[in-house]
A = this chain, B = another copy of it.
Amino acid sequence: TDITHDEAFKALLAAKKKAEDSNVLVNIAVVDAGANLKAFIRMDESFLGSIDVAIKKAKTARYFNIDTGELGELTQPGGIIYNIEHSNGGLVTFPGGIPIKNKEGKIIGAIGVSGGTIEEDRTIATVGVASIIE
């Protein structure tokens, strides 16, 4: 089971609307079950550096089926997977990347958001994820 491009767009637009309502400028990426880019948008005036961060958050969330913020708790010095960020061409392990599940609870992709504070990014990503099972 894989996210469709219609679903990817739905998640993207729901997240974008949340960002606009919150006056946050973000980049939003959606990857499919294969962790390949499915949909992307960069809002005007958002950070240039957030293009890659948003895409890497989405990929990281699907690579390990985990909220990137939770992963980051394990990658700190002394952590059990310290510096795993060096793998896979670069991971991003702070909040803003979340797996996307279908109504049956199966992971079908992931979303990554970058540009606001990490709390804002995570909230916006959550809205995108929720749109799929509404």
Contact = CB atoms under 8 A, between A and B. Distances in A.
Interface of A: 2, 4-5, 8-9, 32-44, 47-53, 56, 60, 62-65, 72, 75-78, 80-94, 117-118
A90 B92 contact: no
A49 to B, nearest CB: 3
Contacts of A47: 63-65
A74 to B, nearest CB: 9
Contacts of A88: 49, 52-53
B72 A94 contact: no
A37 B63 contact: no
Contact of A49 (B38, B51, B91): B91
Nearest to A65: B47
A94 B118 contact: no
Given A65-B47, A81-B118, A36 B34 contact: yes
Contacts of A76: 77-78, 82
A130 B94 CA distance: 34
Contact of A35 (B9, B34, B41, B60): B34
B41 A39 contact: yes
A9 B49 contact: no
30 contacts: A5-B42, A5-B43, A33-B34, A34-B36, A34-B48, A35-B48, A37-B51, A38-B42, A39-B40, A39-B42, A47-B64, A48-B62, A49-B63, A49-B87, A50-B63, A52-B88, A56-B86, A72-B83, A75-B82, A75-B83, A76-B82, A77-B77, A80-B94, A81-B94, A82-B94, A83-B83, A84-B92, A86-B90, A86-B91, A87-B92
